[in-house]
Chains A and B, each alone.
Chain A
Amino acid sequence: MTGARWYKALWANPKSRVGLVVVVAFALLAVVGPWLVGDPTAFLAVPHQPPSTAHWLGTTGQGQDVLAQTVAGARPTLAVGVLTGLLVVGFGAVTGGAAGFWGGRVDDALSLLINVFLVLPGLPLMVVVAAWLPPGPATMTAVLVLTGWAWNARVLRSQVRSLRERDFVAAAVVSGESGVRILVAEILPNMASLIASAFIGATVYAIGAQVGLEFLGLGDPSAVTWGTNLYWASNDSALLTGAWWTFVPTGVGVALVGFGLVLVNFGIDEITNPRLATPTTGGGDG
């Protein structure tokens, strides 16, 4: 399907329509938001104030405005998330594509590498690597890509492998086109929906993992991101003092963006595999 048809299909599907709206809304928030709210780092009020007209979402344990922090935190979190998603899918396409297309020893070696990275648990590895590096978005991206590339590589590899057996690929091989050219020009375009789906999944993972790492204290504590917001909320004993407004807005933000992306993925799934769509009429008997 062409791009325009895909967009129409996604808009028509109720799940992906809601998802698109949510994601676009947050993207706008991330880009434009920081100019609309005050300085998130300013210590300007009494700490641990519940939401009021002065501060719509209250203040943090150190007297900062929660609304400003939540809005400002969106930008770095989403930026790193999207960048990681792109890189992860990029690596995945290269390694998975090479393994699936050339097969043989190349496949054996790459598959082994992929499987090893798949089976190693992510968070402990991330912690070990991130602890040695200086905190910041570059480190975060690197760590997330290191632990996240393998999953997509495997998914893309199996798709490339099955596409490779198709007639149009065999024709291209026989006509002497170079392997790389076939991979890029013939096979990958046929996997567009899978790659889009993989990119979305990788972004969701990146946002969640990022927030987790920063919660652990491996982010840059002086930066304002969704993850560091939660880190400070926990550090300032939000739970023991009952200051729920310091961690709820950020969590809701993360969940909404993640859920919005997941909805878009549901839509893609249902469009490519219509049997998964919940039926509106009953069918069959027995």
Chain B
Amino acid sequence: MSRGVSFLARRAGFYALAAWAAITLNFLIPRMMPGDPASVMFARFRGELEPEAIEALRATLGLTDGPLWSQYLTYLSHVLRGDLGTSVAYFPAPVSEVIGVGLLWTVLLAGTALVIAFALGTLLGALAAWWRGGWLDSTAPLVLSLVGAFPYFWLAMVAVYLLGFMMGWFPLRHAYDTGIRAGPTVAFAASVLHHAALPAATLVLASLGGWLLTMRNTMVGVLGEDHVRYARARGLPPRRIFLHYAARNALLPSVTGFGMALGFVLSGALLTEIVFSYPGQGYLLIQSVRAQDFPLMQGIFLTITLAVLGANWLVDAVTLILDPRTRR
């Protein structure tokens, strides 16, 4: 298994490189825009922000005096310490503090929705291929593709309208009732679940089609392979063939794709949060856009990127367990 460890180490190195690229992008983007970033900012915010706020902003972006490379090193050292600067919209709170709270809610919402959609989608996709020509195979991919063609947040809007506004079954906004105190109580947990149900459901529904289709197509290919036919010839029971010979082999591309789909689904989750005023990263994102709060925007970008990279590395570890050939 030491080969597996070296595989994981190489992947970790790649993700570190990607993280570095993200940080460097954060550094370079303000400087690549037309005009000198300092004067651009001054022009934008003059009259709106106090001098201390503007100073804090310059410091966050590393716009100190000095050559570019020294600015870069300063910026890098700040980021590596966890100092993402000071927020403009929530001045004088530091960006890391503003983000910190929202991160949990986003992970809760997007994480659960992703896991459910993946599990349900791959299972249904495998069954669709197993029962070829059945209703699952012929109608489900089309229907779910149609549902997935709607923007995630639009589905959220429809859900809020139908089930929240008209039916009153689900709350329209926020993560839990304003009357309840946060804490490890049953009432709190119930309220959280009640508020998370609708956003999570729309996310699952919107992303289900992709998982289903990928798994179904891969499964169709695997079912035609020699080792499956040979397993049938050996008289193995259908359930065993479905699980261990077909589905487990067909799962591999879906798992590999999981990492990439993660970023995509996360984007959808962010926009969905906005519709529900769910206090996660998405909500912070739109606040930061409205207030032109660049430090917060860039802070969110970095945080989300790091989370996605970490999740990708976990997926690599899972692939290692599932596919003995990668351990060689």
Contacts and interface: CB of A to CB of B under 8 A. Distances in A.
A36 interface: no
Contact of B17 (A116, A280, A286): A116
Given A240-B172, A259-B145, A216 B133 contact: no
Nearest to B37: A132
Contact of B160 (A239, A251, A258): A239
B232 interface: yes
B301 interface: yes
Contacts, number: 156
A193 interface: no
B15 interface: yes
Contact of B305 (A124, A239, A276, A280): A124
Contact of A122 (B25, B150, B232, B263): B263
Contacts of A127: 285, 289, 297, 300-301
Contact of A132 (B30, B137, B158, B285): B30
B107 to A, nearest CB: 14
Interface in B150-175: 150-154, 157-158, 160-161, 164-166, 172
Interface residues of B, number: 64
A120 B264 CA distance: 10
Interface string A164-178: 000000000000000
A187 interface: no
B151 A217 contact: no
A239 B172 CA distance: 9
Contacts of B289: 127, 131, 216-218
B274 interface: yes
A121 B151 contact: no
Contacts of A234: 157, 274-275
B297 A212 contact: no
Interface in A217-266: 217-218, 230, 234, 238-240, 242, 244, 247-248, 251, 254-256, 258-259, 262-263, 266
A244 B113 CA distance: 26
Interface in A189-227: 204, 208-209, 211-212, 215-218
Contacts of A208: 151
B149 A212 contact: no
A119 to B, nearest CB: 5
A180 interface: no
A262 B271 contact: no
A193 to B, nearest CB: 16
A286 B157 CA distance: 48
B18 interface: yes
Contacts of A230: 151, 153-154
B29 A132 contact: yes
B308 A119 contact: yes
Contacts of A280: 133
Contacts of B18: 115-116, 119-120
Contacts of B137: 278
B22 interface: yes
B301 A119 contact: no
A24 B174 CA distance: 41
Interface string A138-175: 00000000000001000000000000000000000000
A118 B264 CA distance: 10
B165 A278 contact: no
Given A121-B263, A123-B266, A258-B149, A216 B271 contact: yes
Nearest to B293: A131
Q: Top 3 closest A-B pairs, CB basis?
A: A123-B267, A121-B263, A258-B149
14 contacts: A120-B308, A121-B264, A125-B305, A212-B151, A216-B285, A230-B153, A234-B275, A239-B164, A244-B161, A251-B151, A255-B150, A258-B149, A280-B133, A286-B233
Given A124-B301, A259-B145, 17 more contacts: A112-B17, A119-B15, A121-B266, A121-B305, A121-B308, A128-B26, A211-B151, A212-B267, A216-B289, A217-B290, A230-B153, A239-B157, A239-B164, A244-B158, A251-B151, A255-B146, A278-B132
